[in-house]
Amino acid sequence: MSAFDPSCEHAAIREGVAEVCAKFPGVYWRDLDARRAYPGDFVKALSDAGYLAAMIPEEYGGSGLNLSAAAAILEEIHKQGCNAAACHAQMYTMGTVLRHGSPEQKRQYLPRIADGSLRLQAFGVTEPASGTDTLSLRTTAVRDGDAYVVTGQKIWISRAEHSDLMVLLARTTPREKVEKRTDGLSVFLIDLRALVGNGVTIKPIRTMMNHATTEIFFDGARIPASSLIGEEGKGFRYILSGMNAERILIAAECIGDAKWFLEKGSSYAREREVFGRPIGANQGVQFPLARAYAHMLAAEAIVYRAAAMYDAGLDPGIEANSAKMLAADASWEVAEACLQTHGGFGFAEEYDIERKFRETRLYQVAPISTNLILCFLAERALGLPKSYG
């Protein structure tokens, strides 16, 4: 480690996270993967150690740390071969709650999220018809007395079956009645447990990796008007800053994955002997790992730059999107090099490579696909005509 290494920051936090992760080796994750089961013990251990409350202010029982610290926590989880997908949403939705939630909402929920007795792990944005085009979402929340009535469908909403609360984005004013496309959407902090069976149905979707993702049907579900976050109709703005946090945190997870694959790939290349010498003595084996290492280093620098900008209250849209794309590309590149280095053994479940390979592939698509990041950068950073929306 040198002073220029972003992983020098938060060294004590990283060590603590690594200690928790050491209790959850590959065999734990392999078993869950085969059963597509939720890592409840792992999430509890992280909660008990206080890491999931990192971003909750101290007055509500958390540690009051910033996004850079949260990124270090999630990176370390992945570097240790674990997977933070079971619990990262609590961190990236926190900014929306902290910046725009009412004092009453914070008093009601944050202390219990901090002590682990409530989980805020679901973020409901994507819909089957709108996909990436969030502004076209069709789920409506219509005010009726002291409630909103929610009707519509969400898809790919991860952890909904394992979360008490969900941050929901829905349309409160019809699109044809708003001046700007970004108006008329509102954000709610809803209690999912109370709604299941009362207008809400959650159906799991089995995917290529263990991700606890679902589709959610809202059939006239009544949610208290007090669950609205901030002002009605301004929700898209609130969600955007949460999306930057999400991109930065997921990018940090990708850096952790990349480091895990690099360690596995290079140690196997040092040990495995074929033709009477270690396979890692061949440049054909070294170069893909070395190239991917350089790409990981570059991506890591932009991830922590974006996090520092977020913490400074700046708009890190360009950096957060670049970080997400570069880090996801780096983790995928190293995953490929690591699998190839392992030859046939890379396909054996007991090496964990094939599982991590499936897991890290997701980040080319979610929470935003590479193409859409390129569209955004072309428009915002280079001033080219907007090609989407």
Ligand X SMILES: Cc1cc2nc3c(=O)[nH]c(=O)nc-3n(C[C@H](O)[C@H](O)[C@H](O)COP(=O)(O)OP(=O)(O)OC[C@H]3O[C@@H](n4cnc5c(N)ncnc54)[C@H](O)[C@@H]3O)c2cc1C
Shortest Å, Cβ 81 to ligand X: 19
- DSSP one-letter string for 2-69: -TT-GGGTTHHHHHHHHHHHTTS-HHHHHHHHHHT---HHHHHHHHHTTGGGTTS-GGGTS----HHH
Q: Which residues contact 135 (CB under 8 A, 6 or more apart)?
A: 175, 181, 182, 185, 236, 389
* 368 contacts ligand X (rule: CB under 6 A): yes
The SS3 of residue 155 is: strand
Task: Return the residues of window 95-134 that contact ligand X according to CB under 6 A.
Answer: 123-126, 131-132
CA separation for the pair 43, 117 (Å, rounded): 12
Does an H or E element contain 140, and which?
strand 140-144
The SS3 of residue 233 is: coil
Task: Return the residues of window 211-240 that contact ligand X according to CB under 6 A.
Answer: 211, 213
* Cβ-proximal residue to ligand X, closest one: 131
* 156 contacts ligand X (rule: CB under 6 A): yes
* 365 contacts ligand X (rule: CB under 6 A): yes
Q: What does residue 120 show for φ and ψ, rounded to 5 degrees?
A: -110, 85
Cβ proximity to ligand X: between 336 and 359 the closer is 359
Cβ proximity to ligand X: between 108 and 207 the closer is 207
* 367 contacts ligand X (rule: CB under 6 A): yes
CA separation for the pair 178, 233 (Å, rounded): 9
Shortest Å, Cβ 15 to ligand X: 30
The residues facing 222 across adjacent strands are: 149
* 362 contacts ligand X (rule: CB under 6 A): yes
- For the chain, how many residues are written? 389
CA separation for the pair 200, 220 (Å, rounded): 8
Shortest Å, Cβ 22 to ligand X: 27
Shortest Å, Cβ 78 to ligand X: 16
Cβ proximity to ligand X: between 96 and 158 the closer is 158
Cβ proximity to ligand X: between 72 and 372 the closer is 372
Cβ proximity to ligand X: between 38 and 304 the closer is 38
Q: Which two tokens stand for residue 89?
A: 């949403």
* 388 contacts ligand X (rule: CB under 6 A): yes
Number of residues engaging ligand X in binding (CB under 6 A): 23
* 375 contacts ligand X (rule: CB under 6 A): yes
| Residue ranges of E strands in 159-253 | 165-171, 185-191, 200-205, 213-224, 228-229
Cβ proximity to ligand X: between 92 and 268 the closer is 92
Among 57, 116, 369, 377, interactor with ligand X by CB under 6 A: 369
CA separation for the pair 367, 389 (Å, rounded): 17
Shortest Å, Cβ 75 to ligand X: 20
Cβ proximity to ligand X: between 47 and 134 the closer is 134
Count of H helices and E strands in the chain?
A: 13, 10
Among 151, 207, 286, 340, interactor with ligand X by CB under 6 A: 207
Question: Among 213, 155, 224, which Cα is nearest to 191's?
Answer: 224
Cβ proximity to ligand X: between 123 and 148 the closer is 123
Shortest Å, Cβ 122 to ligand X: 7
The residues facing 205 across adjacent strands are: 213
Cβ proximity to ligand X: between 54 and 216 the closer is 216
Shortest Å, Cβ 166 to ligand X: 9
Question: Among 303, 199, 201, which Cα is nearest to 249's?
Answer: 303
* 371 contacts ligand X (rule: CB under 6 A): yes
Shortest Å, Cβ 17 to ligand X: 23
Per CB under 6 A, residues contacting ligand X are 123-126, 131-132, 156-158, 207, 211, 213, 362, 365-369, 371-372, 375, 387-388
